[in-house]
Amino acid sequence: MKIVSVAENTNIEKRVAITPEIAKKYNSNGFEVSLIKNYGTHLGFRDDEYVENGVKIINDNKEILSSADIIVQLGLLSDENFSYLKEDQILVGVLDPFTNKDKLDELKKKKINIFSLELLPRITRAQSMDILSSQANLAGYKAVIESFSNFEKAIPMMMTAAGTIPAAKVLVVGAGVAGLQAIATAKRMGAMVFATDVRMASKEQVESLGGKFLTVEGSENQETEGGYAKETSDDFKKKQEELLAETLKKIDIVICTALIPGKKAPIIIKEEMIKNMKSGSIIYDLAASQGGNTAFSEVNKIIDKNGVRIMGEKNILNKLPTSASNLYSKNLYNFVINLYDNENKKININLEDEIIEKTMIK
């Protein structure tokens, strides 16, 4: 059973799908692993390190891809690499089926079995494969670090003979995995932390991390069965806006994490709210690549509005690619092992398995 991966475009994506540690695990389970030359050198994963862990290094994408049983990547392959694929192969990655529908339809016509891991169900058995959680956890942490490095005041309260510096006030919008890690990181660094979310179940989690949960009066739990936030009513949005508008006047740093899978990010922080924020404040928008949670978010730019700086990157995980690759490759490995029938040494696409059924692009 041959499992392979080719290099991503490192200008867009620095993470890799197979680390030397995970290559060794595939090898011990009877897989033959092949990688393109210099696959992970930009992260310090040398070719000889891969070879020591049972990997075959090949310097030709066509040779690697055409001979594969399973191809694991971060995103979609290039058009040229698509042409090397053959019937009954398996492609696994984060393939954004909402945006890339046409390209994925082409692959289905070629009878490629496609699995997109952002579609994993939120069930206990899938936790070890949950790429959204593992990557969002790092994104929440890094968003706080990036914000604090651009904030021109101290974060914790400091008492000195010359006077007291008050702790910075941080607001986290969206208390999912990224938001909760942002709360924990900001709190550890000495900030006063507030959070808001449409899911009332988040209140207890926020408070357990030392944050103050901002509750919209008369709010109901806006949560899907899968554990994601759902779109809210106009009445809820109006009440949320009023609460946010007042809160933002006192906030130094905002971390935005609110996303709805497959849809444009909701605009939560409006133009008028930003006008009333303190000059020198920072907004870090993790939703920027899906349109952003603010009225002014732009990907890979710092927008200055009345002294408030709004930041957002297309892929913040490119600033933590080694840690992100270590987690992502483990998620992928666990998914592949779930697909693999070890007794008969073959792939078993069992559509009665919820994990396989939900992630397969049909």
Positions annotated as catalytic residues are: 122, 127, 130, 133, 228
- Which has the closest alpha carbon to 27: 333, 347, 332? 333
User: How many residues are listed for the chain in this entry?
Assistant: 362
Both tokens of 108, joined, read 């289905």
Asked if residues 172 and 257 have their Cβ atoms less than 8 Å apart, the reply is yes
Both tokens of 164, joined, read 């007291």
Q: In what order do the strands lie in the sheet with 301-305?
A: 212-213, 192-196, 169-173, 253-256, 282-285, 308-312, 301-305
| DSSP per-residue letters across 91-147 | EEE---TTT-HHHHHHHHHTT-EEEEGGG----GGGGGG-HHHHHHHHHHHHHHHHH
Q: Residues 102-107: contacts with CB within 8 Å, 24+ apart? A: 103/76, 104/76, 104/361, 106/82, 107/82
Q: Residue 90: in which H helix or E strand, if any? A: strand 90-93
For residue 22, the tally of other CB atoms under 10 A from its CB is: 24
Q: In 166-239, which ranges are E strands?
A: 169-173, 192-196, 212-213
Give ∠ CA 157-270-319 in degrees, rounded to 5: 60
Asked if residues 107 and 132 have their Cβ atoms less than 8 Å apart, the reply is no
Cα separation, 143 vs 153, in Å, equals 17
Distances (CA, A) of 219 to 207, 238, 271: 18, 11, 24
Collapse the DSSP code of 23 into the 3-class scheme (helix H, G, I; strand E, B; otherwise coil) and give the result. helix
Q: Residues 39-43: contacts with CB within 8 Å, 24+ apart? A: 39/5, 39/6, 39/7, 40/16, 40/325, 42/10, 42/14, 42/321, 43/14, 43/16, 43/321, 43/322, 43/325
